[in-house]
Chains A and B, each alone.
Chain A
C-alpha cells in the first residue's frame, strides 16, 4: 500500500507561500489517516458480527426446527419390554361368530443359573420329586458342571408347580414369563388350527410359532406386531363344528370305521363352516409326527384336505353335468345300461342289472357305471380332462392350511379313453373331500366356480363353468337321488336334501382293489331349490352290521350320518323347515324354467 506522506512537500510549499501554517496540513492528513483506519476496522468488525449472527441464527433455526419436529410428531407410548428382540405376542383366532378358537395364556418357564445356586444337589433332587418327567441325576450333573452357567429345566409350569418350585427355596432357580398358546375347545377343529410350539427362546420371552394348519399358514400375520390386536376370524362355526364332529364320531363308532371326514361349505362364497377329520388330536398337546406306518393313519392327517382318494360314484354327477352342458343329452334321454360292458380286456359292470336302458335322471338316481362310462366315451378324454380342470380337480385346493401345499391329486399318466371311462364313475382320479365340496358347489349354485376358504370375508364366486340350466337339471337329479334313490336315508323332511352317494373299493398298496374295504361318500347340498350349503361326508371302511349281512355301501353308512348331520345342523343355521311339496315344486319349476 502506498502511504500518503503527512507533510506533502508541494502543499507545504504552497501553504508557506500563502502564509498559512503547514502544521495544519499535517494534522489534517493525520486525521484522515486515523479515520481511514477506523473505517477499516469498523468494516472488519461488522463482517465478523455478521458471521457470528449467521452462526447463531443457524443454531437457533436448527434447535427450533428440532423442537417443532418433536412437537409435531404423535406422542408415542414407550412400551415396557419393547426393546426385547423376541416377541411372544400372537393374535387370537376366532370363529365366524367371534368365539375363541386360539388364545394366549401367560405361564412361566423354569431355568437355573448355576452360579447363584446354593445347594444344586438338593435342588435337582427336589425338582425330580416335583416333575415326573425330569431326570434328577442328569439335572444334578448339569447343575454341578463348572462349565455350565445356565440350564433350561422346563418350558411350561402350572401355578401349582411354580409354587412347589418356589418352596424349594433355591435362589438359582428362576422363572421366565412365557406366553402359551391355548386352544380352549380341545380337539375341536384340531386339524384346522394345527398347533403351535416355541421357537426362539430367551429368558424373558419365547417366540410362539405355528407348526401346522391355520397357525402355520397365517404365522406371519399372527405374529405381525401391527396386527396383534386384531384377531384372525375364520369361517368355521364352533357350534356347527361341535355338532358335526359329535354326529360323525358316533357314526364312526357305530359303523366301526377307521376314520371319517366332513365338510360343510357355503355353496356361493366357498366359506368352509365345518371341516372335521377323525380321528383327531388335542392341539394343546400336539403329538409328534409319526415316524413309522402309513402317514394317512396318523391322527395328524387331515382326511378332508390331505386325503386324496378315489371317491367312486359321486363323480358321476360331473360326467352327466358335462354331457348336459354340451347338449348331448337331456334329463329324459334314454341311455344304454346293458351290463357288463367290454372295453378291450377291461370289463365295466353295474352293482346290479338295471335292464337295457334308463333315463339320464335314473342313471344318477340308481348310479349306473355302464351308462356313465358310455357317456364318457361320447364326451371324449380330452374334453373330459378340460372340464375337470375347469372345476379344479387336476390340482390341489389352495385353502389356507399348511398341509395343502404338498397334497395333490393322483392323475392318470396317460388320459386314455379307458381312463376317461373309469374316471367318469370315480376311479382312476383321486379327489379330496374339500375339492369335491367345491365341485358340488359349482354344480348346484348356478354353475359358478367356488374357491374354498377359511378366512372370513375372503370368499366369492368365480368364473362360470356350467350353465344355469345344467345346474337346475342337476339340482333336480340330485334331489331325486335322495327322494327315491340310493341316498334315501338323507331324506330329512323340510330341508330338501339332494346328493349323490359313492362307494369306492379301496385300492391295495400292492395293486388291485380290496374286496371288503370301502370308502363311502355322500356329496350333497340343501335346501335343493336354492342350495346354500354343500355337505360332504366320507367314512373310511365302514360296516353296517345291524342287518342280517354286513352292508358297506354309502347308502347304508355315509348317507344316514349325513342325514343326521343335516337334521341337527340345519335348524342351528336358522333354516326353517318348509313343506316337502313346496321344495319339490320349486325344484321342478326351476327345471321347466331352464328348459
Chain B
C-alpha cells in the first residue's frame, strides 16, 4: 500500500513537472510572439503616421490651389460662391412610371453569374 502511494506520488510529480515545463515553454513562445507583434504594430503605426503626414502634405491648400489652376481647362473649378446654393424644388425627380410593362419591354440588366437550368430538370450547368 505504502509503496503504491509512493509510486503514485512520484508519477504525479513527473507529470506535474512535465506540465510546468510545457507551460513555461508556451509562455516564452507567447511572449516572443507578442514582442514580434508589438514590433509589427509599432512599424505599422509608424507607416500609418507617415502616410497620414504625406496625405496631409499632398492635400495642403497651396498645392490644391495650384492643381486647380493647372487643370482649369479640364475641370473648370472656381471658388465656391453664393450662387451655387439651390433649393430642393430645383432638384429634378424622375417621372413616375405609369405602366410597369413599359419597364419590362426595355429589358432587365442582370449582373453576376447566370444559372441556367435545363428544361427537363436535367443536370444544372453554370454559365460563366
Is the CB–CB distance between B79 and A568 below 8 Å?
yes
Q: B56-115: which have CB < 8 Å to A?
A: 56-57, 59-62, 65, 79-85
Contacts of B79 in A (CB 8 A): 243, 568
Interface residues in B14-59 (C-beta closer than 8 Å to A):
34-35, 38-39, 42, 46, 49-50, 52-53, 56-57, 59
Among the listed B34, B56, B85, which residue makes an inter-chain contact with A99, where contact means beta carbons less than 8 Å apart?
A: B56
* B46 A571 Cβ-Cβ under 8 A: no
**Distance, CA A244 to CA B39, complexed state (A):** 44
Chain A interfacial residues counted at CB < 8 A: 30
Q: Is the CB of B60 within 8 A of A246?
A: no
When C-beta atoms are compared, the residue in chain A nearest to B81 turns out to be A571
What A residues does B53 contact at CB under 8 A?
100, 103-105, 182, 184
With contacts A188-B60, A567-B82 known, is A100 near B42, CB below 8 A?
no
The one of B35, B42, B80 that contacts A572, using a Cβ cutoff of 8 Å: B80
Given contacts A80-B38, A188-B61, A238-B61, contact A103 B52 (CB under 8 A): yes
- List B contacts of A182 (CB < 8 A): 53, 57
B50 pairs with A105, CB closer than 8 A: yes
Contact B57 A184 (CB under 8 A): yes
* Proximity string of chain A (228-245) to chain B, C-beta cutoff 8 Å, 1 when within and 0 when not: 000000000011001100
A381 to chain B, nearest CB (A): 45
* A493 touching B82 in the complex, CB below 8 Å, given contacts A80-B38, A103-B53, A185-B56: yes
Q: Residue of A at shortest CB range from B35?
A: A80
Asked if residues B82 and A494 are in contact (CB atoms below 8 Å), the reply is yes
Q: How large is the interface on B (under 10, 10 to 19, 20 to 34, 35 or more residues)?
A: 20 to 34
Given contacts A495-B82, A577-B82, contact A104 B49 (CB under 8 A): yes
Bound together, the chains give a CA A539 to CA B85 distance in angstroms of 31
Question: Is B85 a contact of A184 with CB atoms below 8 Å?
Answer: no
**Residues 53 to 107 of chain A near chain B (Cβ within 8 Å):** 77, 79-80, 99-100, 103-106
- Complex interface: chain B residues within 8 A of A105 (CB): 49-50, 53
B38→A77 contact, CB < 8 A: yes
With the chains together, A516 CA to B91 CA distance in Å? 55
**Does A186 sit at the interface, judged by CB under 8 A?**
yes
Q: Is A132 an interface residue (CB 8 A)?
A: no
Known: A186-B60, A239-B61, A571-B85. 7 other contacts (CB 8 A): A80-B38, A100-B53, A103-B49, A103-B56, A182-B57, A495-B82, A577-B85
Can you list 20 A-B pairs with a CB-CB distance of less than 8 A? A77-B38, A79-B38, A80-B35, A80-B42, A99-B56, A103-B52, A103-B56, A104-B53, A106-B46, A182-B53, A184-B53, A184-B56, A184-B57, A186-B60, A239-B61, A246-B65, A493-B82, A567-B82, A568-B79, A570-B82
Chain A residues engaging chain B, CB cutoff 8 angstroms? 77, 79-80, 99-100, 103-106, 182, 184-186, 188, 238-239, 242-243, 246, 492-495, 567-568, 570-572, 576-577
